[in-house]
Amino acid sequence: MEGSRPYDLVLFGATGFTGGLTADYLAAHAPATMRWAIAGRNRSKLDAVAARLAAAAPEAPKPDVIVADAADREALRQAAAATRVVITTIGPYALHGGPLVAACAAAGTDYVDLTGEPEFVDRVWVDHHAEAEKSGARIVHCCGFDSIPHDLGAYFTVQQLPEGVPLKVNGYARSNARFSGGTYHSAINGFGRARQTLAAAKERRRLEQRPAGREVHSAPARIHHDDSLGGWTVPLPTIDGAIIRRSAAGLDRYGPDFTYGHHMVAKHLATVGAIAGGVGTVGLLAQLPPTRKLLLKMKAPGEGPDEAQRERSWFKVTFVGEGGGKRVVTEVSGGDPGYGETSKMLAESGLCLAFDELPERSGQLTPAVAMGDALLARLQKAGIEFRVLEPSGA
């Protein structure tokens, strides 16, 4: 396929905020021989991005420009057929992402995005997993802060524990960053599509086979104070936990019986109440079209902080793993999760699919199942820190 397609990688969404940062990262870090293009619906904006990239990194491989609207199936088909890998930042994905995934699944083209939308991920599995398996396409969602640090962090933690025994891992996320405009819009639309989300999950559960001879579980959800973490741990109902459990279902290394719990850490119990109340209120308001429209107007999809604000942002995810009489504590940490590190993770995922030796797998895959050790090495080299805080011991 490499020799028959003109591009190694095509990036959709380069004219947006996170897409622009991803384009910057690719121009600065891609192999000198990479053949790539940026794609979208507005040629003049794409030309401006291409010119900016050329001025910023004159020695880097220059991207071509492909005009393709997210709703133009024929243009998407041609773009997918022309490349080995597609990266897309165009969301909300449940509203705009389906046709591009369909084009990649049909063309045998690898696909990565940064969605955190459960409905979209489940719907893609139902509609396109089987075709992608046949065509050889690797469809890999959640390659930004949702869910790279969590999925690869759990993968890293499991590697520190004994093989062939039941394992239990809990993840605890902390950050000082704010939601991005794109994440905010995806969340509001997700709240407003609760019925569709439940329907997609139900249909996937009906069709998806469980791993033979192995069990994967969710840890019991409870709020409690953890002195070692310095705060209250609260179950975090993001897509990250589901992605980690799907990695466990896809990889024998997670043991015959794997349990995972996903949490946030808050210093004060009052903060927990405020967050729960705020999320509950927004969730109710998003059910009604008029109030949902007002909520969406509060933050623009492409809105993002300036460079100084991003420089002050950070994240840490602590993992506590147990199994076979051993216990280990690990940590994944980095800078601004919503933009800088997300664009880095997304770009490295695309580069990993395009250029690294990977397991022979296809269909809808998690980052850990699709890329595993190769992506972990890339992320560490790119400055995302994975470290063992407390080595495995009895």
pLDDT reading at 221 higher than 90: no
**Given pLDDT bands bounded at 50, 70 and 90, which one contains residue 184?**
low
- How many other CB atoms are there within 10 angstroms of residue 203's CB atom? 15
The percentage of the chain sitting over the pLDDT mark of 70, rounded to a whole number, equals: 87
Q: Which of 55-59, 66-70, 95-99, 272-276 is least confident?
A: 272-276
Strand residue runs (E) in the chain: 7-12, 36-40, 64-67, 83-88, 110-113, 138-140, 167-175, 215-218, 224-226, 231-235, 257-266, 315-323, 326-334, 363-365, 385-393
Q: Which of 3-7, 241-245, 288-292, 366-370 is least confident?
A: 288-292
Say what the pLDDT of residue 291 is: 74
Tokens 């049909």, residue? 106
The percentage of the chain sitting over the pLDDT mark of 90, rounded to a whole number, equals: 69
3-class DSSP state of 13: coil
More confident residue, 221 or 102: 102
CA separation for the pair 176, 264 (Å, rounded): 12
Say what the pLDDT of residue 68 is: 95
3-class DSSP state of 215: strand
Positive or negative: CA dihedral 241, 244, 250, 256: negative
Q: Which two tokens stand for residue 172?
A: 């605890």
**Given pLDDT bands bounded at 50, 70 and 90, which one contains residue 284?**
low
State the virtual CA torsion across 236, 242, 247, 250 in degrees, nearest 10.
160
Q: Cis ω on the peptide bond leading into residue 147 (within 30° of 0)?
A: yes
**Given pLDDT bands bounded at 50, 70 and 90, which one contains residue 290?**
confident
Give residue-wise pLDDT tens across range 95-150: 999 999 999 999 999 999 999 999 999 999 999 999 999 999 999 999 999 999 99
Question: Does domain 7-143+342-375 match CATH 3.40.50.720?
Answer: yes
How is the chain split into domains, by residue range? 7-143+342-375, 148-336+384-393
**Given pLDDT bands bounded at 50, 70 and 90, which one contains residue 304?**
low
Say what the pLDDT of residue 336 is: 87
pLDDT reading at 319 higher than 80: yes
Section 356-381 average pLDDT = 98
Say what the pLDDT of residue 47 is: 97
Burial 368-386 (b: 16+ CB within 10 A, else e): bbbbbebbbebbeebebeb
- How many other CB atoms are there within 10 angstroms of residue 176's CB atom? 11
Nearest to 177 by CA among 317, 24, 292, 300: 317
